[in-house]
Amino acid sequence: MPATASTVGAVSPGAVSPGAVSTGTAGAGEVPAARGNIVIVGGGLAGFTTAQELRKYGFDGRVTIIDPEGIPYDRPPLSKEYLDGSMTAAKIAFVPDDWYRDNDVELVTDAVVGLRPDEGLLELAGGRTYSAATTVLALGGRARTLPIPGGDLPGLLQLRTRADADELRARIVPGARIAIIGAGLIGAEVASTAAKDGATVTLIDPVPVPLVPLVGAELAVRLHDMHAAHGVDVRCAMTTAITQQGAEYTITLSDGASITADTVLVAVGIVPQTGLAERAGLATDQGILVDEAHCTSHPAVYAAGDVARVRRADGTVLRRHEHWESATHGGQNVAAALLGRPLPEHGASWMWSDRYGVHVEAVGDMVNGTPIVRTVDGVPVAAFRMESDGRMIGAATIDGGTAVRAARRIIDRGLIVDPQQLADPSVELKKLAR
Ligand SMILES: Cc1cc2nc3c(=O)[nH]c(=O)nc-3n(C[C@H](O)[C@H](O)[C@H](O)COP(=O)(O)OP(=O)(O)OC[C@H]3O[C@@H](n4cnc5c(N)ncnc54)[C@H](O)[C@@H]3O)c2cc1C
């Protein structure tokens, strides 16, 4: 199992391997990967996808993934099936361990602490230096902390890694008092899992109805109401302080209430890991700035996934995505750019989430345009966003995966659809997508 550091590609401090391409000579159009080794920093979804795509399309140079977490694994199950114990660590690995040997992808279990793009050098926490013709930064994000008194207490939990999920899992037992600060996607999923497993859950968020920008108001209300219906104590307030007395935490809220808990999970979003790029002099703006080929401001460094933010040729800086599919797409784009292949076309962005046995999906833009809601017996099951010319720009469903796939085709093809048919639950969306 090639999960530990090997000496392939490693050079002593200060040295440059013969295969390294120095600064300024490599660019997307010149297929730099064809001339040297590729080192991927971060073995999450974007980093792993980059390696997988490079091999899929026949790149035969050296590929290395460096990540302190070792064997790459998928994160969405950490708040779902892995957290409730129905999926094992082996099952959340992207591929079986022998894939790395069979595909000659080297895994190095270490963290990169320094990057010198002009020299093609990476410095590892363990003290070694690696050379790279091309570096791909797929560093993801770190959990945001609360800037309040007690926000830095060491016992507060977060959920980004498998180790975080293991720690949380051990605390989700019947009767345990679990407070979750943040009712976004991850907070809501953990609340659902913890409530199902018999914990006493309090869910705190200052936003009365979270997720409106992702799924629209009607579906967001239905989703948020599920917490209370499943016995979760939902509090709409700011968290202003956290204190600890022995094993017990007290959370003070802006409405004057206080909550006591055995476990506190802080799930208030992520901060992109831009520090390495900033220290290396790469352009950043709440994310590592990349062009549409995912090349950073240095021609030998690419970035993808949660950490990357696309700046178009006209200077428009796009919103950074923090979803599974966009991390996959980022990795695909990097590999295509490095191999000189046409960039894949991805269409409208898509995400999903699960809670209390229901499956939520959303595609495209659920913020702009005019809303149309589809209800069954008065219960909203799907929502759409329409431009004034009749084009759909966004769609979201609860337990409606087929409809979302059809909506995605409608959006990507720019089809004009009849709003009345969209609102009518008897009309199958796939008929409108033809
Ligand atoms: C609990 C959870 C549930 C989620 N559920 C969903 C969902 O239901 N639907 C959905 O669409 N999305 C979901 N997501 C989001 C999705 O998983 C992320 O968008 C995706 O993992 C991003 O991939 P990434 O490769 O950019 O970053 P990550 O997966 O975060 O990987 C980054 C990697 O970089 C490594 N790294 C960081 N710094 C260094 C360094 N200095 N040196 C070396 N390596 C480093 C880290 O160890 C990490 O392994 C979820 C995320 C989490 C955490």
Structure confidence at residue 104 (pLDDT): 96
For residue 140, the CA-to-ligand 1 centroid distance in Å is 5
Q: Check residues 9 and 424 and name the one with the higher pLDDT.
A: 424
pLDDT digits (tens, 9 = 90+) for 4-38: 333 233 333 222 232 322 222 333 333 444 457 99
How far apart CA 429 and CA 218 sit, in angstroms, is 19
Q: For residue 417, what is the domain's CATH number?
A: 3.30.390.30
Identify the residue whose C-alpha is closest to ligand 1 atom 35. Answer: 42
- Are the beta carbons of 49 and 92 closer than 8 angstroms? no
User: Nearest Cα to 204, choosing from 148, 126, 154?
Assistant: 148
Structure confidence at residue 77 (pLDDT): 97
Please report, rounded to a whole number, the percentage of residues in the chain having pLDDT higher than 70.
Answer: 92
Structure confidence at residue 36 (pLDDT): 78
DSSP H helical ranges for 266-418: 275-279, 324-339, 401-413
Same domain, 49 and 186: no
Same domain, 47 and 108: yes
Same domain, 282 and 367: no
Q: Which helix (H) or strand (E) holds 398?
A: strand 392-398
DSSP 8-state code for residue 118: G
Structure confidence at residue 401 (pLDDT): 80
pLDDT digits (tens, 9 = 90+) for 141-195: 999 999 999 999 999 999 999 999 999 999 999 999 999 999 999 999 999 999 9
pLDDT > 90? residue 203: yes
Here the tokens at position 292 are 């549409």
Boundary of a domain, candidates 339, 366, 392: 339
Cβ neighbours of residue 314 under 8 Å, at least 6 residues apart?
none
How far apart CA 269 and CA 19 sit, in angstroms, is 40
Identify the residue whose C-alpha is closest to ligand 1 atom 16. Answer: 324
pLDDT > 50? residue 357: yes
For residue 73, the CA-to-ligand 1 centroid distance in Å is 9
For residue 42, the CA-to-ligand 1 centroid distance in Å is 9
Cβ neighbours of residue 377 under 8 Å, at least 6 residues apart?
none
How far apart CA 39 and CA 63 sit, in angstroms, is 6
Residues 379-404, mean pLDDT to the nearest whole number: 95
pLDDT > 90? residue 420: yes
* Residue listed under structure tokens 């390294």: 20
Q: For residue 250, what is the domain's CATH number?
A: 3.50.50.60
Structure confidence at residue 20 (pLDDT): 29
Instruction: Give backbone dihedrals phi and psi of 253, rounded to 5 degrees, phi first.
Output: -110, 160
Tell how far CA 401 is from the center of its chain. 20
Q: How many CA atoms lie within 13 A of 352 on its CB side?
A: 15
Structure confidence at residue 32 (pLDDT): 42
Same domain, 330 and 421: no
Residue 89 lies in a domain: yes
- Are the beta carbons of 135 and 115 closer than 8 angstroms? yes
For residue 355, the CA-to-ligand 1 centroid distance in Å is 20
Ligand 1, residue 49: give the atom nearest the CA: 25
Tell how far CA 315 is from the center of its chain. 24
The one-letter amino acid at 190: V
For residue 354, the CA-to-ligand 1 centroid distance in Å is 17
Per-residue pLDDT band for 434 (boundaries 50, 70, 90) equals confident
Give the mutation target among 41, 45, 65 for probing the ligand 1 site: most ligand atoms within 8 A of CB.
Answer: 45
Boundary of a domain, candidates 233, 268, 303: 268
For residue 250, the CA-to-ligand 1 centroid distance in Å is 30
Q: Which of 35-39, 275-279, 348-352 has the highest mean pLDDT?
A: 275-279
Instruction: Give backbone dihedrals phi and psi of 106, rounded to 5 degrees, phi first.
Output: -85, 135
Quote the number of domains for the chain.
3
Residue 346 lies in a domain: no
Residue 350 lies in a domain: no
Q: Which residues line ligand 1 (CB under 6 A)?
A: 41-47, 66-69, 75-76, 78-79, 111-112, 138-140, 159-160, 186, 273, 276, 305-307, 322-324, 327, 351-353
- Are the beta carbons of 138 and 305 closer than 8 angstroms? yes
How far apart CA 372 and CA 367 sit, in angstroms, is 12
Residue 210 lies in a domain: yes
Residues 70-96, mean pLDDT to the nearest whole number: 96
What are the E-state strand segments in 117-218? 121-124, 129-131, 134-137, 141-143, 177-181, 200-205
Same domain, 217 and 166: yes
Residue 157 lies in a domain: no
Structure confidence at residue 26 (pLDDT): 32
How far apart CA 345 and CA 66 sit, in angstroms, is 28
User: Nearest Cα to 207, choosing from 241, 240, 183, 242?
Assistant: 183
Other Cβ atoms closer than 10 A to 353: 23
Cβ-based burial of 283 (10 A; exposed 0-12, middle 13-18, buried ≥19): middle
Residue 372 lies in a domain: yes
Residue 348 lies in a domain: no
Same domain, 94 and 235: no
Q: What is the extent of the structural domain holding 48?
A: 10-142+271-339
How far apart CA 211 and CA 351 sit, in angstroms, is 12
Range scoring the smallest mean pLDDT among 238-242, 327-331, 353-357, 427-431 = 427-431
Give the mutation target among 49, 211, 323 for probing the ligand 1 site: most ligand atoms within 8 A of CB.
Answer: 323
For residue 161, the CA-to-ligand 1 centroid distance in Å is 8
Same domain, 254 and 283: no
| This prediction's pTM | 0.91
How far apart CA 70 and CA 255 sit, in angstroms, is 44
Boundary of a domain, candidates 268, 292, 322: 268
Collapse the DSSP code of 189 into the 3-class scheme (helix H, G, I; strand E, B; otherwise coil) and give the result.
helix
Identify the residue whose C-alpha is closest to ligand 1 atom 2. Answer: 76
Identify the residue whose C-alpha is closest to ligand 1 atom 14. Answer: 76
Residue 347 lies in a domain: no
- Are the beta carbons of 374 and 398 closer than 8 angstroms? no
